[in-house]
Amino acid sequence: MIKLLIVEDELITRRGLMRHVPWKKIGVDAVETAENADEAFGICARWQPDIVLSDIKMRGMDGIEMCRQLRSLLPDCQIIFVSSYSYKEYLKAAIELGAIQYVEKPVVLEELIGAVEKGIERIAQIKKQKALQDSYTESMDFLKREALFSLLSTPEDVKKLECQLRRSGLWDSGDTRMRIGIVKLAGTVDDTGEFVRFYREKLQIFMAEEQFYCNMDFHDNRTLILLATGTKSMLDRDGELIRALCVLAMESKGEYRHFLAVGAMVEEPGKLYASYQSACQSAGCLSYKGFASFAFCGEAPADRYFEVEKDQEEAFVGALSRREKEEAIRILEQIYAQLITEKAALNSSVKNMYFLLYSHIQQLEKELLTGEGRERRESGRFWDNAQTLEELHTFVAARAMEAIEAREREGTGGNAVIFQVIEVMKQRYSDKSLCIKDLADAVYLTPSYLSGLFKRRTGTTINQYLTNMRIDQAKKLLRDNSLKLYHVADLVGYEDAAYFARIFKAQTGMTPSEYKENKNL
């Protein structure tokens, strides 16, 4: 779509250009007009025209200065000047601005149409060049990505791999060394391109003036693969580039907090897969080292079977039942410290250990009715995504504290809460909309927690207790002969008199009418 803006301070000329030039026929899809430079700037910022057809001599800012300023906003915009004056200064300025043509007034229609068509042709050329450049950039990016990830498997043809790396600019023969690195992020990254830009900028700061090459791309939205290339001294364990990568990991925080695993240094592309394998092995150290740290090739976690000792499990269950927060946390800290000391891998046995401890907490929560529905949500979310022992320990310790504190609240304030709820029932039993949620809100508890607490303390449910209260009040009201059955039902919170009669009979063994006849009851 080609858009053209006419900037002309004479109304007659603007209207004449709009009326007499066959814009659609010559390839212009939309035309707007402006009376002066200020109005033109507003339209250009909003509309971004492809061609500006401007008078030179205008009130306020002239067309030359206006187009000079527009160049920074719209560098590819094509300019055509129209003027009654043919001063050399104007012609020179038009040439400097790269104007398509300088058309003198009175305008010859064929000359103006030729200038516009020339502008349209130039726009097409610019778009074609940009498309080719974008295609080349995308091809190079794709080639680099393909070359990088081809390193993550055993090469079938080393020569082909070397050729691919050279073509993508990732490697050249000579005194070049290479290392694969793996960056594990604490959370998922939605905009991977933004993280790569951030990572490169930070790395450049640490490297100062040193020249380095580090290609990188995301394997998934939590894992970045690095290919570092350089001299042996730069890629040594104490080399400038490797030190910078390690410092960047240690200083990471917030949403970009990460762990770095460094693979072995190799001399030729055919050995890069071995570097990647060693980096994968080192990446397992994340389990006990945690984020904001790093591991080198040769470091690996203890990937063996772990389980909670029976006496530790029993002691933990006892601490939960006795509401001993400090003791429960001490046992969890002891288990966590043991795993860290033994450099435990985060394998299924370790996750099962913590899930066993968590199941005891859940049991306590079920007794309190505070953990309803939590198991399903957290099992599918947390246990699958945890990457470190610290995360497992922190999660289970926090849940243990919550469960014990809930039990303490029940023990110290349970009776007071029940008395408060009963008082609310006495005041609102005639309210037909009264429900368990209203009662729970009145005492700042969840409905499920209040229901469980009420049943344990009174031996009956909230609904049954409220029904008993309403029927007791109905008995008193039925002794008044002036009240009809539907009046009584309404006064004790029942909208349907027939339903009230059924409830009354179920509770007392007789209908409201029978009860009325036996007032002495």
| 437-476: pLDDT as tens digits | 999 888 878 888 788 888 877 888 999 999 999 999 999 8
- Residue 160: predicted pLDDT: 66
Residues 399 and 433 in one domain: no
- Residue 141: predicted pLDDT: 57
Stretch 423-436: mean pLDDT, rounded? 91
Residues 18 and 100 in one domain: yes
pLDDT digits (tens, 9 = 90+) for 328-347: 999 999 999 999 999 999 99
Q: How far apart are CA 153 and CA 372, in angstroms?
A: 46
- Say yes or no to pLDDT of 370 above 80: no
Residues 170 and 264 in one domain: yes
Q: How far apart are CA 502 and CA 490, in angstroms?
A: 14
- Residue 168: predicted pLDDT: 59
pLDDT band at 161 (very low <50, low <70, confident <90, very high): low
pLDDT, averaged across the chain: 85
Domain presence at residue 376? yes
Tokens read off for 506: 């179920």
- Residue 150: predicted pLDDT: 67
Residues 436 and 403 in one domain: no
Residues 433 and 405 in one domain: no
Domain presence at residue 286? no
pLDDT digits (tens, 9 = 90+) for 267-293: 887 788 889 999 999 999 999 999 999
- Residue 187: predicted pLDDT: 87
CA 201, 205, 211, 217 dihedral sign is negative
Q: How far apart are CA 216 and CA 196, in angstroms?
A: 7
Q: Which domain holds residue 96?
A: 3-127
pLDDT band at 170 (very low <50, low <70, confident <90, very high): low
DSSP for 61-84?
Answer: S-HHHHHHHHHHH-TT-EEEEEES
Residues 265 and 365 in one domain: no
Domain presence at residue 51? yes
pLDDT band at 358 (very low <50, low <70, confident <90, very high): very high
Cβ atoms within 10 Å, residue 271? 16
Residues 445 and 395 in one domain: no
- Say yes or no to pLDDT of 365 above 80: no
Mark which of 111, 127, 143 sits at the end of a domain.
127
Stretch 100-128: mean pLDDT, rounded? 91
Select from 439, 418, 419 the least CA-distant residue to 428: 439
**CATH code of the domain covering residue 437:** 1.10.10.60
Between 187 and 302, the more confident residue is 302
Stretch 370-388: mean pLDDT, rounded? 60
Residues 52 and 83 in one domain: yes
Select from 196, 192, 151, 201 the least CA-distant residue to 171: 151
Contact 429, 492 (CB under 8 A): yes
Q: How far apart are CA 248 and CA 233, in angstroms?
A: 19
Q: In the chain, what percentage of residues exceed pLDDT 90?
A: 49
| Residue with token string 């006849």 | 517
In whole angstroms, how far apart are CA 142 and each of 148, 219, 222, 224?
10, 14, 20, 16
pLDDT digits (tens, 9 = 90+) for 295-306: 999 999 999 999
Domain presence at residue 106? yes
Stretch 395-403: mean pLDDT, rounded? 89
Residues 17 and 120 in one domain: yes
- Residue 373: predicted pLDDT: 40
Q: Count the domains in the chain.
A: 4
- Residue 315: predicted pLDDT: 93
Mark which of 409, 444, 463 sits at the end of a domain.
409
Q: What is the DSSP letter of 156?
A: S
Residues 402 and 466 in one domain: no
Domain presence at residue 301? no
Stretch 208-223: mean pLDDT, rounded? 76
- Residue 154: predicted pLDDT: 66
Domain presence at residue 288? no
Q: What is the DSSP letter of 520?
A: T
Stretch 142-148: mean pLDDT, rounded? 61
- Say yes or no to pLDDT of 80 above 50: yes
pLDDT band at 411 (very low <50, low <70, confident <90, very high): low
- Which residues are CB-contacts of 135 (< 8 A; sequence separation ≥ 6)? none
Residues 114 and 218 in one domain: no
Domain presence at residue 139? no
Contact 257, 185 (CB under 8 A): yes
Domain presence at residue 143? no
Q: What is the DSSP letter of 108?
A: P
Segment among 101-105, 190-194, 204-208 with least mean pLDDT:
204-208
Q: Which residues of 220-251 are buried (b: 16+ CB within 10 A; e: fewer)?
A: eebebbbbbbbbeebbbeebbbbebbbebbee
**CATH code of the domain covering residue 238:** 3.30.70
Residues 383 and 444 in one domain: no
Mark which of 409, 437, 455 sits at the end of a domain.
409
- Say yes or no to pLDDT of 379 above 70: no
- Say yes or no to pLDDT of 53 above 80: yes
- Residue 93: predicted pLDDT: 83
